[in-house]
Amino acid sequence: MAEVNRQILLVSRPQGAASVDNFRLVETPLKQLASGEVRVRNHYLSLDPYMRGRMNDSKSYAQPQPLDEVMIGGTAGEVVESKHPDFAAGDRVVGMFGWQEFGTSDGKGLQKVDTTHVPLSAYLGPVGMPGVTAWYGLNRIIAPKAGETVVVSAASGAVGSVVGQLAKLAGCRAVGIAGGDAKCRYVVETLGFDACVDYKAGNLYKDLKAVTPDGVDGYFENVGGEVLDVTLARMNAFGRIALCGMISGYDSEPKPLKQPALLLTQRLLVKGFIVSEHMDVWPQALKQLGTLVAQKQLHYRESIAQGLENAPEAFLGVLKGRNFGKQLVKLI
């Protein structure tokens, strides 16, 4: 077995936009396992927009990522050595080992997964944190009724793609917003949304109005900025907005609302949420999502970067919308 663990550390905080210079690749000797420990060879690393917020030393829902430590992140891999009674070599597991090739754990926070019908990588996407995020925001905040219109920003991404498909299963009209013709075609033709608006086409309000003739009852927000402003202007009275992300402002200046009065005049419910604070729904959500993926009723797409050394560049691509679907790094 390898005796060296390659890791990527966060070594500086971004001044403005994040860059590859904020990270450093290091090699660390692997220590011998102690009693009660388990070692995992990570196969996949998950890259997610929330990581950008952790790079800043500012008040948020979680502590900042410490400097000179392994960058945070979800991982999926295989147990290669175990001195823990609950884990054996060959077990497939998901955890939070971050940007490194090997993880060592006392077993806490490590979850065994069954890859018989669901691929290992899907446990970092539709049957993992992004899928549960979609499930919670749609079912617990938007709470859609059949016949309502639900709009989803970043509709081709890891979270948005699941939101729209679950909305369709609930009998709703699902309308996506995505960047570029290829992503919009995928959202409609593969994911089964009723319509998709390309925000890069330059006619966002007009195009969204055309595909939401009855207005918008529920909105799942991943982007913020102009996309939020335009969708707010289409919201029906007593509409519900699940605030999941604001990626348009993560790497730049904040983007204030143009018409905040609409929140009042339309009597809107706007609720932000962090999915890790709602662990009570995870078993129910994962059961449904896993069944749908296993039965090929829930479609998903992955963008895969090869090799740990390419994680920083792939992550910066996520912030710029270059990824198509769930962004992963394949480590083996």
- Domains of the chain, residue spans: 4-125+301-330, 129-276
Determine the Cα–Cα distance for residues 244 and 275; give it in Å rounded to an integer. 9
Output the CA angle 220-241-328, nearest 5 degrees.
25
Model pLDDT for residues 110-128, shown as the tens digit of each residue: 999 999 999 999 999 999 9
Regions of the chain where pLDDT drops below 70: 1-2
Reported in sequence order, the residue ranges of 15-123 that DSSP labels E, i.e. its strands, are 23-29, 38-46, 69-70, 75-82, 92-95, 102-105, 111-112
Residue 154 near residue 245 (C-beta atoms within 8 A): yes
Determine the Cα–Cα distance for residues 104 and 41; give it in Å rounded to an integer. 9
Determine the Cα–Cα distance for residues 271 and 261; give it in Å rounded to an integer. 16
Determine the Cα–Cα distance for residues 208 and 259; give it in Å rounded to an integer. 17
Cβ within 8 Å of residue 202, ≥6 positions away: none
4-125+301-330: CATH topology is Quinone Oxidoreductase; Chain A, domain 1 (3.90.180)
Residue 157 near residue 184 (C-beta atoms within 8 A): no
Q: For the domain with range 129-276, which CATH number is right: 3.10.580.10, 3.40.220.10, 3.40.50.9100, 3.40.50.720?
A: 3.40.50.720
For residue 199, give Cα distances in angstroms to 155, 169, 181, 228.
11, 25, 10, 11
Determine the Cα–Cα distance for residues 176 and 198; give it in Å rounded to an integer. 9
Determine the Cα–Cα distance for residues 226 and 234; give it in Å rounded to an integer. 13
Give the model's pLDDT for residue 254.
80
Give the model's pLDDT for residue 60.
85
Determine the Cα–Cα distance for residues 249 and 262; give it in Å rounded to an integer. 21
Task: Copy the structure tokens of residue 235.
Answer: 């919201």
